[in-house]
Amino acid sequence: MIELRNITKVYKTKNGELTAVDNVSLSIEKGEIYGIIGYSGAGKSTMIRLLNGLEKPTTGSVLVNREEISAISGGKLRAARHKISMIFQHFNLLWSRTVEENIAFPLEIAGMSKQERTKRVAELIDLVGLTGRGKAYPSQLSGGQKQRVGIARALANNPEVLLCDEATSALDPETTDSILELLLDINKRLGLTIVLITHEMHVIRKICHRVAVMEAGKVVETGKVLDVFQNPQAPITKRFVSQVSGTNETKESIEQILENYPSGKLVKVTFVGQATEQPIISHLIKEYGVDVNIVHGTISYTTSGPYGTLIVHIDGTEEQVQTVLHVLAKHELQTEVIEHA
């Protein structure tokens, strides 16, 4: 659906050349929710402008639905953009227009008749959960309601791709979750391809199927969200994952934990999918005669299934502990001995 081939974008500044995107290649499948995550300055905003044709790459090509956006201009580019819509961090609504009028605006530009516009706007208001708010002005809406208007307006012309530029960054956590659930519902109902640009790993975990991690203009890691959460490779990816997995505090207090457990091993165990629901720890205690103490644990949920991490202290003979580690591996659980006590 979307393909970036060896994209580089260089800006000329008074201080010399600035490489915002550095030789990036990505493939985004039709109907998936794809996340691009990075901190400020990583190149995310430039990426989204390349995807909708607002910027041309210095080298490389951008294809959307087999059409090379990076190689067309004028009327052809405008026609291509009708199939690529966008929602923004700060909503970008027309404050002098009502909810209905904001949603109808792109339909007016497209030349749709008033009767057809009225019908389409009513459908979209219902789709985004704003029934009864059609006559309200943006100033009368909450942040979440404003973003719902932005989503409805973006869907007006039946796009094939929806680009979300930090679309939940200005919202509180509860409202963020409601907007993400709406996007997930729209993706399932309409089969819409969604590209999310964000610096929040919670957003990626909540609804994305795959993710690309950016740093200094480069994509440093890609993969299925569950795989990336289970086994992050790049240091920056590990930082993002730790934000939502709750492992930072535990690592910082390792020395204190070890003081409380003078023998045995401290082991990090990662559970994925159905393994999160299995009573494996109690089985180990009963079957192998070891003492297992759960020091820290979390379970998180992604669109591909749940995953969990436990940091456990296993106490027993060296042979017993090695047997337990072998059994955990047989259950396809990842184990990492953090430190010898």
Phi-psi region of 69 (alpha: psi -120 to 50; beta: other; left: phi over 0): alpha
* Buried/exposed 286-325: b ≥16 CB within 10 Å, e otherwise: eebebebeebbeeebebbbebbbbbbbbbbbeeebbebbb
- Whole-angstrom Cα distance, residue 312 to residue 317? 16
Q: What is residue 139's predicted lDDT score, i.e. its pLDDT?
A: 95
Tell me what the mean pLDDT of segment 11-30 comes to: 94
CATH fit for domain 246-340, picks 3.30.70.1520, 3.40.640.10, 2.40.160.10, 3.30.70.260: 3.30.70.260
Q: What is residue 244's predicted lDDT score, i.e. its pLDDT?
A: 75
- Range from 43-57, 244-258, 270-284, 297-311 carrying the lowest mean pLDDT: 244-258
Helices 99-109 & 143-155, crossing angle to 10 degrees?
Answer: 20
Nearest Cα neighbor of 224 from 35, 37, 47, 31 is: 35
Q: What is residue 248's predicted lDDT score, i.e. its pLDDT?
A: 54
pLDDT at 112 over 90: yes
Q: What is residue 245's predicted lDDT score, i.e. its pLDDT?
A: 64
Q: What is residue 157's predicted lDDT score, i.e. its pLDDT?
A: 92
Which of the four pLDDT bands, split at 50, 70 and 90, describes residue 340? very low
Better-predicted residue by pLDDT, 20 or 291: 20
Q: What is the pLDDT of residues 52-87, one digit of tens each?
A: 888 999 999 999 988 888 888 888 888 888 889 999
Question: What percentage of the chain carries pLDDT values higher than 90?
Answer: 55
Every domain of the chain with CATH number 3.30.70.260 lies at: 246-340
Give the architecture-level CATH label for domain 2-244.
Answer: 3-Layer(aba) Sandwich (3.40)
- 147: tokens are 């973003």
Q: What is residue 341's predicted lDDT score, i.e. its pLDDT?
A: 41
**What is the DSSP pairing of strand 16-28 with strand 218-224?**
unpaired
pLDDT at 126 over 80: yes
Q: What is the pLDDT of residues 229-258, one digit of tens each?
A: 878 899 999 889 877 765 555 455 666 666
In the block, residue with structure tokens 């659906």:
1
Every domain of the chain with CATH number 3.40.50.300 lies at: 2-244
Q: Find out whether 325 and 292 touch, Cβ atoms under 8 Å.
A: no
In the block, residue with structure tokens 């669109």:
303
Tell me what the mean pLDDT of segment 322-326 comes to: 85
How high is the mean pLDDT of the chain? Answer: 87
